[in-house]
Amino acid sequence: MNKKPNLKDVAKVAGVSAITVSRVLSNPDKVSEKLRTKVEQAVHEIGYIRNHAASALASRRSGVIAVIIPSLSNIVFNDVLQGIYSAVKQHHLQVVLGDCHYSPLEEEKLIATLLSQSPEGFILTGTDQTDYARKLLQQSGIPIVQLMELSDCPIDMNIGFSHFNAGVDITNHLLQKGYRKLGFLGARMDTRTQQRLAGFKKAIADFKQPCQSYVVTTTQSSSIRLGGQLLQAVMAESQGQCDAVFCCNDDLALGALFETKRMNLKVPADIAICGFNDLEASALVEPAITSVASPRFEMGQQAVELLMTASGEDKTHKPPIDVGYRIVERAST
């Protein structure tokens, strides 16, 4: 197997110098059209592909941004990722992606690994990074965006919405509808879920009339199946009294809904169900499930844009961006 072609090989074929080839690849408009086409032909002919490592080393620009999400299997982060990829494409960047499985320690290791790629920006999910991770990130000097939730003390930039407020609002929605024996079904119990739960408790505590709450949580990862199990659990705990459940996400809500059919409960007459994240299925099941929508795709896109504008050296502290959320009221409540 003959070695991979390099710049010089292309230069030889095109009859120009190596640096000219380099320019054709990175600044085509700095080269005359004649040479440019000659070089481009040579590149295509011998199937030359630039060595990114050498390019990054020499230019001190990696063309890479690093992204860490807590889970690949959660559709929520998938939406964000799609936004990120769509934005990244415009800027001719590459993404290196890590999945930290909701673990700050794994995240710390990933941050170190991904920083070694000399990314030009870093997108993180959430706000619970370890101290050492924060040190590494700050030391790197690159722009950083923390996604999904709002932080009091962001590392750098921050874009998201208040899961606490959303929790309050959706709980109040149930209370306003007349439900008084509210259940909270929670899985995974990451920081965002905890904030939703805190909102749930706050709304109940602030409510002027007597009402009951039942909280059933597990650190297991969320799934549709688990939603059914948690519904069973909350019905057991409330001795069948529970008349509405706030599920910490739509997977649980769907599972709970499917379980009500097996339990012969009418939704929303016997029990109301609401979820979180507004997945497609929630709008299409019968009855459709009330949920909390947020602009995940746009959040991903905007995170990339923030990184790109931030690399312009203005180290002014930017305030967190609240993208908001929207309660989508449907038949299940």
Of 83 and 186, nearer to a second copy (C-beta) is: 83
Question: What's the gap between Cα 321 and its chain centre?
Answer: 15
Question: Does 6 contact DNA by CB under 7 A?
Answer: yes
User: If we measure between CA atoms, which residue out of 49, 146, 101, 92 comes closest to residue 308?
Assistant: 92
Q: Measured from the CB of residue 32, what is the shortest distance to DNA in angstroms?
A: 4
Dist CA 38 CA 292 (whole Å): 56
184 — phi, psi (to 5°)?
A: -115, 125
Question: Does 58 contact DNA by CB under 7 A?
Answer: yes
Question: Does 112 contact DNA by CB under 7 A?
Answer: no
Dist CA 275 CA 247 (whole Å): 5
263 — phi, psi (to 5°)?
A: -90, 0
Contact 245, 274 (CB under 8 A): yes
List the structure tokens of 233: 């659990």
Under the phi-then-psi rule, with left for phi > 0, alpha for psi from -120 to 50, and beta for the rest, what region is 194? alpha
Residues in the chain: 333
Q: Measured from the CB of residue 109, what is the shortest distance to DNA in angstroms?
A: 17
Of 38 and 196, nearer to DNA (C-beta) is: 38
Of 17 and 78, nearer to DNA (C-beta) is: 17
Catalog residues that contact a second copy under the rule CB under 8 A: 1, 4, 47, 49-57, 62, 72-73, 75, 78-79, 81-82, 85, 94-97, 99, 112-118, 135-136, 139-141, 223-225, 228, 254-255, 258, 261-262, 280-281, 284-286
Of 53 and 269, nearer to a second copy (C-beta) is: 53
78 binds, among DNA, a second copy, none (CB under 5 to 8 A by kind): a second copy
206 — phi, psi (to 5°)?
A: -80, -10
Q: Measured from the CB of residue 281, what is the shortest distance to a second copy in angstroms?
A: 6
The residues binding DNA (CB under 7 A) are 3-4, 6-8, 16-20, 22-23, 25-26, 30-32, 34-35, 50-51, 54-55, 57-61
